[in-house]
Amino acid sequence: MRVAFVASEAFPFAKVGGLADVVGSLPQALRRLGLEVTIFLPWYWGIEGYYVGEAWFNFAGQREKVGLGHAEHQGVRYVLVGLGDFARDRPYGYPDDFRRFVRFAMATAELVREFEVVHAHDWQAALLPLLRNLGWFSGRTVYTIHNLAYQGVWDSHEFYAWTGLPGETYYGAGLEHYGSVNLMKAGIVNADAVTTVSPRYAWEITTPEGGEGLDGVLRAHQGKLRGILNGLDTSYWNPATDPYLKHPYDADNFAGKALNRKELLAELGLEDRPTLGVVSRFAHQKGIDLVAEAVDGLMDLGVNLAVLGSGDANLERTFSWLAAHLRGRLAYVQGHHEALAHRIYAGADGFLMPSRFEPCGLAQLIAMRYGTPPIVRAVGGLLDTVRHWETGFMFETPDAGGILHGVREFLKHPDREGVAKRAMRQDFSWDGPAQAYLGLYRELVG
Ligand SMILES: Nc1ncnc2c1ncn2[C@@H]1O[C@H](COP(=O)(O)OP(=O)(O)O[C@H]2O[C@H](CO)[C@@H](O)[C@H](O)[C@H]2O)[C@@H](O)[C@H]1O
């Protein structure tokens, strides 16, 4: 069985958040089960690949050329889809993102003909199941929702001018949503199977509170919807072998954790107090604004904050200001820093993740793997992966009071090291989830 992944991010080639971790590591686990996956990724600026040729596709009434590259990572083959408007330094954040990814999907649809399963990830690839139903290729389709909040919504006139799709698809194939085109909706309606990244989130998105306006659509398609919990690349995220750490450790040789902690506090200029790490995209979802609101209370509780993240410019400014005014207690590093992220996961005493919603969440899994108990809001995949008082701490309300409650629980636990070690000894690997995906592909292909 040949499986194609189509996605906008894959670690190590292009990463903004957790989507990249999943697309970059699930194929390795499937490979261990004997399944070959090829990943179709936009050829972003800076990705090194071999130019292998070109293909043609239709866009905006013209024949267009797409350059094709090959790359490989840990035995997994990548096809780099080379379109001019992807040669930029970031994957997204441009006014023409919708158009760019529609082009990417249309070009990729021409390239996946020999695959039995085409597995599309998030809105950037959500057009593929519809294109399959229109006969562009014949594989069975799986659509995975990593984040329902980003749906790919755009003006229908422009969409039809670019794609040239038959007009009846607007209502007939699930593209129309409140007067616009919605690619997420089309992915859900047209795919043979829809998955999301935790069982709890699979349920939450069928409710008006968690459905982001698509709960009705998801309820109508509930029979083909399932939640498969994400795994981690446990050889990459491994405190015993992590090249970014000076002091390796594991649950049985825990002494290195304290040494990494000392280094981290020195690096960030923090006082010797319980230190909570935050490594996050600065997006509304993540509740980083709530951390800012809780700062006075957190300082009163006697904890430090070590914050790494970027995104929302107001939040970046807020944390820069806080770091300048709370020297020794709150450190903030703006940007995306792989090495520092590892040092925070390893060196912090606890990990704060006050998400408003969370499809699965990998940061809390990484924190647990590094023996850093997560303090999380009881929602989505956080509920499925953290056990209160056993492997981490949970709070209910998405506000400053909730965060302070969670941190108080963390501080009063009599055996935080026990919590840390229990957290570390869990199995976060892809082994189980990869079996679930393989089972799904087999059901579809028959
Ligand atoms: N400034 C920074 N520097 C370095 N690394 C940084 C960073 N900011 C974030 N990261 C890294 O990005 C990843 C974040 O992954 P998450 O799954 O926790 O959230 P995200 O919302 O991005 O993913 C979405 O997709 C994933 C995958 O399905 C779901 O788990 C999740 O719930 C959903 O919201 C982690 O590897 C983290 O270390």
Q: Is 240 a member of any domain? A: no
Q: Is 148 a member of any domain? A: yes
Name, in order, each residue with C-beta under 8 angstroms of 204's C-beta and a sequence gap of 6 or more: 210, 211, 357, 379, 380
Q: Give the total number of structural domains in the chain.
A: 2
Cβ density class 158-181: b for 16+ within 10 Å, e for less? ebbebbebeeebbeebbbbbeeeb
| 119: CATH | 3.40.50.2000
Question: Relative to the CA of 364, which ligand 1 atom is closest?
Answer: 18
Pairing mode, strands 180-182 and 62-73: unpaired
Q: Is 224 a member of any domain? A: yes
Ligand 1 centroid from CA 36, angstroms: 25
Pairing mode, strands 350-353 and 275-282: parallel
Cβ atoms 6, 129 nearer than 8 A: no
Residues 379 and 440 in one domain: no
Ligand 1 contact, 18 CB (< 6 A):
yes
Residues 156 and 290 in one domain: no
Q: Is 225 a member of any domain? A: yes
Q: Report H helices in 33-135.
A: 97-109, 128-133
Q: Is 169 a member of any domain? A: yes
Pairing mode, strands 275-282 and 176-177: unpaired
Mean pLDDT by 10 residues, the chain (446 residues): 98 96 98 97 96 97 97 97 93 96 98 98 98 98 98 98 98 97 98 98 98 98 98 97 98 98 98 98 98 98 98 98 98 97 98 98 98 98 98 98 98 98 97 98 96
State which of 143, 184, 234, 280 you would mutate to test the pocket of ligand 1, scoring each by most atoms of that ligand within 8 A of its C-beta. Answer: 280
Ligand 1 contact, 310 CB (< 6 A):
yes
Residues 144 and 262 in one domain: no
Residues 324 and 392 in one domain: yes
Ligand 1 centroid from CA 278, angstroms: 11
Residues 109 and 184 in one domain: yes
* CA pair distance 112, 104, nearest whole angstrom: 12
Ligand 1 centroid from CA 380, angstroms: 14
Ligand 1 centroid from CA 354, angstroms: 13
pLDDT score at 101: 98
Residues 438 and 399 in one domain: no
Ligand 1 contact, 287 CB (< 6 A):
no
Q: Is 237 a member of any domain? A: no
**What angle separates helix 97-109 from helix 156-163, to the nearest 10 degrees?**
30
Residues 211 and 342 in one domain: no
Q: Is 377 a member of any domain? A: yes
Residues 117 and 206 in one domain: yes
Question: CB neighbours (10 Å) of residue 299?
Answer: 16
Q: Which amino acid is at 193?
A: A
Q: Which residue, among 406, 399, 353, has the nearest Cα to 380 in the 3D structure?
A: 353
Residues 41 and 99 in one domain: yes
State which of 8, 9, 15, 21 you would mutate to test the pocket of ligand 1, scoring each by most atoms of that ligand within 8 A of its C-beta. Answer: 21
Residues 401 and 437 in one domain: no
SS3 390: coil
Ligand 1 contact, 356 CB (< 6 A):
no
Q: Which residue, among 416, 405, 426, has the nearest Cα to 275 in the 3D structure?
A: 416
Quote the domain boundaries for residue 336: 255-424
Q: Is 242 a member of any domain? A: no
- Token pair 């400053």 is found at 400
Residues 34 and 155 in one domain: yes
pLDDT, tens digit, for every residue of 348-380? 999 999 999 999 999 999 999 999 999 999 999
Helix, strand, coil % (nearest 5) of the chain?
40, 25, 35
Residues 225 and 324 in one domain: no
